[in-house]
């Protein structure tokens, strides 16, 4: 059985190419929410892992939260442009 952490890692990996092109981290950090395309990816990956119904909805909530947390953590690790 996949854990929420494993699924969040899969979402981040699946979205990395898109994020590299359009850097949504500022919006994700500012709103603490994923954009609609990212949410679709979360739902797809959670569903593919076999979660559905109430369990699926709860896992989607957990994975979205973990992905936002990962994006925020990665953003905190970026060097500042200010001198």
pLDDT at 24: 74
Per-residue pLDDT band at 29 (split at 50, 70, 90)? confident
DSSP state of 1: -
30-66 pLDDT, tens digit per residue, is 888 999 999 999 999 999 999 999 999 999 999 999 9
Sign of CA dihedral 50, 52, 55, 56: positive
Domain coordinates of the chain in residue numbers?
4-72
Its pTM stands at 0.84
pLDDT at 81: 54
As given in the structure block, the two tokens for residue 27 are: 């919006």
Residue 47: alpha-carbon gap to chain centroid: 15
């Amino acid at each position: 059985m996949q854990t929420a952490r494993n699924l969040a890692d899969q979402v981040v990996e699946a979205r990395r190419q898109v994020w590299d092109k359009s850097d949504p981290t500022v919006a994700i950090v500012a709103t603490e929410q994923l954009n609609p395309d990212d949410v679709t990816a979360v739902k797809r990956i959670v569903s593919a892992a076999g979660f559905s119904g109430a369990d699926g909805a709860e896992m989607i909530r957990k994975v979205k939260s973990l992905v936002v947390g990962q994006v925020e953590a990665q953003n905190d690790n970026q060097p500042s442009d200010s001198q």
